[in-house]
Every structure is written in structure tokens, then in C-alpha cells.
């Protein structure tokens, strides 16, 4: 049986993370499994966790009354899903739905926020990693818009 500590240590998001801090994360972590079609979270619900995807695929989508669900992006093995746990009011802004059997490590956002308040080095490391991830995703969105509209949307 694999340990959560080993799994987290090997996750790309936590590359070169301090082993003492990994132990703190393990205290907030649990294995989760989602069946195809099952929602991990829904828009407006409390964002009380985020996920390290180990296997499977999750789509991030929004619902438009005239069109139904619209897929915005997908997340797969090796990726992190969710940052709404980090920013008040801690509510999901989109839906997350497994499109195939998905195994992940869920980290309890409230637990982790408390640990970050107690250990500011941990909080700073987490914030740097999430800030980099959010910046990369915003850049990818800009490129998508450039693709769709055929012009540079940053100006």
C-alpha cells in the first residue's frame, strides 16, 4: 500500500518541497475516488478542498441555461485541481466533474489554511506554488482567447 507521504512527495506540484512540510500536508490529506459522471464540486458550494489527481480525468465546466454545461478545461493525472479553497469566500466558481474513474488525493482546505497560519513558511511555499499555477492558467486562457478571436487580447 502506498503512503500519502510518498505520493505527495512524488507529485510534480510539490517538487523540492520541504519533507517536514509534506508531513504537515499529510495531516490534511485523504485518498478519494470519483466515478465517471460524478461531481467533485459544484458552483457556489463551499470550496473546502483541492485535489492532486493521480489517475483519471476531470473537466471544469460552467452551466449556461441556453446551452447546458460548457467545458472550460480538463485536468488529468499529475495535475492540481482547485484553488477556490485559498481565496475568500471559499466557494467554487465552476463545476468539476469526473469524466472517467478518477483517483486523487484531497487536501482539506480549512485544515491547510490553519496550518499555513501556524507555519508561515508553509503558507508562503503554498502561495508561491499556487500563484505560479494560477499565472500559468491565466496565460493559457489568454492564448485560448487569442486562438478563438484571432488577435492579442493582452492589449
pLDDT tens digit sequence for 59-104 = 999 888 898 888 888 999 999 999 899 999 999 999 999 999 999 9
pLDDT digits (tens, 9 = 90+) for 101-122: 999 999 999 999 999 999 999 9
For residue 108, CA distances in Å to 36, 72, 87, 112, 135 come to 22, 24, 14, 6, 23
- Residue 147 is predicted with a pLDDT of 64
| Beta-carbon contacts of residue 38 (< 8 Å; ≥ 6 apart) | 97, 98
pTM of the model: 0.84
Using the predicted structure, report yes or no on whether residue 153 has a pLDDT greater than 70: no
Using the predicted structure, report yes or no on whether residue 1 has a pLDDT greater than 50: no
Task: Tell me if 13 sits within 8 A of 52, measured CB to CB.
Answer: yes
CATH number of the 4-145 domain: 2.60.120.10
d(CA 31, CA 60): 20
* Domain extents in the chain: 4-145
SS3 5: helix
Amino acid at each position: 500500500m502506498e503512503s500519502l507521504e510518498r505520493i505527495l512527495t512524488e507529485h510534480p506540484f510539490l517538487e523540492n518541497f520541504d519533507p517536514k512540510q509534506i508531513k504537515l500536508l499529510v495531516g490534511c490529506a485523504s485518498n478519494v475516488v470519483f466515478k465517471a459522471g460524478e461531481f467533485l464540486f459544484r458552483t457556489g458550494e463551499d470550496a473546502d478542498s483541492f485535489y492532486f489527481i493521480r489517475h483519471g480525468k476531470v473537466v471544469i465546466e460552467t452551466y449556461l441555461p441556453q446551452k447546458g454545461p460548457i467545458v472550460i478545461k480538463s485536468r488529468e493525472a499529475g495535475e492540481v485541481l482547485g484553488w477556490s479553497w485559498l481565496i475568500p469566500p471559499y466557494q467554487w466558481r465552476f463545476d468539476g466533474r469526473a469524466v472517467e474513474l478518477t483517483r486523487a488525493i484531497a487536501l482539506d482546505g480549512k485544515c491547510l489554511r490553519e496550518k499555513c497560519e501556524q507555519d508561515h513558511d508553509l503558507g508562503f511555499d503554498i502561495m508561491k506554488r499556487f500563484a505560479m499555477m494560477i499565472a500559468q492558467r491565466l496565460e493559457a486562457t489568454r492564448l485560448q482567447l487569442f486562438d478563438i478571436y484571432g488577435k492579442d487580447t493582452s492589449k
